[in-house]
Amino acid sequence: MWEDQFWNEMKRIRRAIDRAFGSEDFPRTEFGNYRHARAGFLEEDDYFVITVEIPGIKKEDIRIEIGEDNNLVIKAQKKKETKKEDEKEGRYYSRQYSGYYRSFRLPGEADLENLDTQYEDGIIKITIPKRKDKKKKIINVK
């Protein structure tokens, strides 16, 4: 009984923290166990560079999605499975998932069709060229 009270109190505290700091840094959808990855964003004349720290993740466990409104999402999932069988105590099986999550809303001039990615030493580097066909619109003030 006291365990239920303990976990209910922990959930209540977590909700209070989420309300106090906003839910942006603590995604509550499918990314509840994910950490907000540290990242850097650099703009040059012809391209953008995004670097994201995701240590301990294998390259094949990284997923990059491009959504609506030039929204780029990086998900990296770390999987850990433990299987132990003991005749006296029965079977034991544990599965743990965690990872990193980060999203960026990119400017309209970002050419998301031709981005380049590199992953080395726990850091993913995404280079996004700027569109060449961007046109500036000049508005005359009346």
Q: Phi/psi class of residue 45: alpha, beta or left (left: φ > 0; alpha: ψ in -120 to 50)?
A: alpha
**CB 100: neighbour CB atoms within 10 A?**
24
Whether residue 128 is predicted with pLDDT greater than 80 in this model: the reply is yes
At 28 the pLDDT is 47
What strand order describes the sheet that includes 90-105?
Answer: 34-36, 90-105, 71-86, 62-66
Per-residue pLDDT tens over the stretch 6-47 = 777 887 887 787 777 655 444 444 555 677 888 999 999 899
Per-residue pLDDT tens over the stretch 87-124 = 666 666 565 667 888 888 888 888 888 899 999 999 99
Whether residue 134 is predicted with pLDDT greater than 60 in this model: the reply is yes
CATH of domain 37-129: 2.60.40.790
Domain borders along the chain are: 1-30, 37-129
pTM for the predicted model, two decimal places = 0.62
